[in-house]
Amino acid sequence: MSPGDIWSALTGAGDLQPLLTSVLSGLCTLGVLVLACTPLSWMLARDRLPFPRVWEAGLLCALLLPPLVIGLLLVFMVGPYTWVGGILNWMHQSATNTFLALVIAEVYESAPYYVLGAQAAFAGVDTQYEQQAGLLGDRPGRVFRRVTLPLAAPGLAMSLAVAWARAIGAFGAVVIIAYHPFGIPMQIFVTLQETGLYSALPYALFLLVIALPLPLAAYIWSARAERRRRG
């Protein structure tokens, strides 16, 4: 396959839409993970949640269940006939076959990877540093910003990069609750079904190109941060 073939396969009308959908939904997913799952990871690492084993079991289930099964569970959790679906319907929204549904599916597929990685990153920060920062006059929020977060940052970046790769390539849950709008994985699947392997390959290449840079950047940045710390 020549560069010309790839270019012509991707420059048809609407051919870049799956790419845009995947990038946007991936970014929304990262936003949800950072805002909602970072505090959750910190609380798990510092034993601040009631019934921590239940939370961890839930995360492991989400990690170990086949994505297709997660999709089926999501139908029962946020489908149109559930109470969540009812609320969404009242707000003229839907969690099936919409951009919102795509983000929900990607969050469910990637969250365990981020939470477990971030939990390990926070657990790796010696609480003695937090204690010392507090004794030097920092209130807890400032301790988190000035000590905990910078020390956990390399681990958080790597976890986020893994979550990004999982989100951008999410397919199993997506095919169940967000068949539309097409992201790249769905486009690959449909193109493969309709026109064959040769037509699907440019999209696979595209998926690789947008999924890889963030993990690569996170790895390089983490390594640099570690080197700087070692002086």
Site residues, another protein (CB under 8 A): 126, 128-129, 131-140, 143, 147, 150-151, 225, 228-231
Residue number, 145 or 180, with CB nearest to another protein: 145
Letter string b/e over residues 54-67, b meaning 16 or more CB atoms within 10 A of that residue's CB: ebeeebeebeebeb
Cα Rg of the chain (Å, integer): 20
Closest separation between CB of residue 224 and another protein, Å?
Answer: 12
Quickly tell me which residue has 């690492």 as its tokens: 45
Closest separation between CB of residue 150 and another protein, Å?
Answer: 5
For residue 90, the tally of other CB atoms under 10 A from its CB is: 8
Residue number, 92 or 230, with CB nearest to another protein: 230
Q: How far apart are CA 181 and CA 24, in angstroms?
A: 12
Q: How far apart are CA 190 and CA 7, in angstroms?
A: 19
Closest separation between CB of residue 153 and another protein, Å?
Answer: 8
DSSP state of 13: T
Residue number, 146 or 175, with CB nearest to another protein: 146
Amino acid residing at 85: G
Q: How far apart are CA 187 and CA 210, in angstroms?
A: 15
Closest separation between CB of residue 230 and another protein, Å?
Answer: 5
Closest separation between CB of residue 124 and another protein, Å?
Answer: 12
Residue number, 93 or 132, with CB nearest to another protein: 132
Instruction: Dump the DSSP string for 33-77.
Output: IIIIIHHHHHHHHTT-SSSHHHHHHHHHHHHHS-HHHHHHHHHHH
Residue number, 147 or 168, with CB nearest to another protein: 147
